[in-house]
């Protein structure tokens, strides 16, 4: 339903921005207006947009069932990793932050408005955002998951409320951004768990 006039809209009307507000759909005209407005405000503050991938970029996660016998000793030694290793029992997952990621986020926030954009599902994306940004200083509601994308197995800037020429993307996977290669900085994959290495054919 249109928020302005109450008219019922077609199901394929506009683009859904569910990460901003549940079931929120915006028309192309409204998207353009918001992008122009938001970009002007950002440039006034001498900032740009930074889109950050999660897995193998900011952190490395593995199911608890994939922990090898050689790795089992780390599950009880989270304190040895100075707040960078997390066991999420309710998600049956263990997550290790990339070294210096908190320093990076703090510095990057001074010159960028940051988004998380992951091919993981919404619940996983929000759990990782809580770990990376427990005080909601960096991302606020700007956490995009595969549930918010408009193309299967692809990431796109159509669900980002920023002008494309003001967006920088940091990701370890080039093929996820086929339409936005000029915006992409490819980062070396971060591996901490053995299962992560095996996934990419590494010993």
pLDDT in tens, 34-52: 889 999 999 999 999 999 9
Distance of CA 86 to the CA centre of its chain: 18
Q: Give the pLDDT score at 133.
A: 97
Mean pLDDT for the chain overall? 90
pLDDT-derived band at 136, boundaries 50, 70, 90? very high
User: Which pair of structure tokens corresponds to residue 102?
Assistant: 């908190």
Contact between 67 and 97 under an 8 Å Cβ cutoff? The reply is: no
Q: Give the pLDDT score at 103.
A: 97
Overall average pLDDT of the 101-120 stretch: 97
Measured CA distances, 65 to 69, 85, 87, 94, 195 (Å): 11, 16, 12, 10, 10
List of residues 6+ apart from 154 with CB closer than 8 A: 176, 177, 178, 179
Is the model's pLDDT at 4 over the cut of 90? no
Is the model's pLDDT at 13 over the cut of 90? no
DSSP assignment letter at 10: -
Q: Which residue has the higher pLDDT, 157 or 74?
A: 157
Distance of CA 103 to the CA centre of its chain: 17
Is the model's pLDDT at 16 over the cut of 90? no
C-alpha 183/C-alpha 140 separation (Å) is 23
User: Which pair of structure tokens corresponds to residue 87?
Assistant: 């066991």
Q: What is the pTM (predicted TM-score) of this model?
A: 0.88
Q: Give the pLDDT score at 80.
A: 61
pLDDT-derived band at 7, boundaries 50, 70, 90? low
Q: Which residue has the higher pLDDT, 85 or 203?
A: 85
Q: Which residue has the higher pLDDT, 26 or 61?
A: 61
Task: Report the candidate in 58, 52, 129, 49 with the shortest Cα–Cα distance to residue 88.
Answer: 129
pLDDT tens for 60-70 read 999 999 999 98
């Amino acid at each position: 339903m249109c928020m302005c006039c109450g008219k019922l809209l077609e199901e394929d009307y506009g683009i859904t921005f569910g990460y901003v507000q549940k079931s929120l759909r915006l028309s192309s005209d409204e998207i353009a207006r918001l992008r122009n407005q938001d970009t002007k405000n950002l440039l006034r503050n001498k900032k740009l947009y930074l889109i950050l991938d999660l897995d193998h970029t900011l952190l490395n996660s593995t199911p608890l069932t994939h922990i090898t016998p050689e790795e089992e000793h780390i599950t009880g030694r989270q304190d040895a990793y100075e707040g960078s290793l997390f066991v999420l029992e309710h998600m049956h997952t263990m997550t290790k932050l990339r070294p210096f990621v908190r320093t990076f986020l703090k510095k990057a926030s001074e010159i960028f408005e940051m988004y998380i954009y992951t091919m993981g599902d919404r619940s996983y994306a929000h759990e990782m955002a809580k770990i990376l940004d427990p005080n909601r200083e960096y991302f606020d509601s700007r956490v995009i998951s595969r549930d918010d994308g408009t193309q299967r197995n692809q990431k796109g800037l159509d669900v980002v409320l920023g002008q494309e020429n003001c967006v920088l993307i940091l990701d370890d996977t080039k093929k996820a951004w086929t339409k936005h290669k000029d915006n992409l900085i490819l980062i070396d994959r971060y591996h901490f768990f053995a299962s992560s290495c095996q996934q990419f054919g590494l010993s």
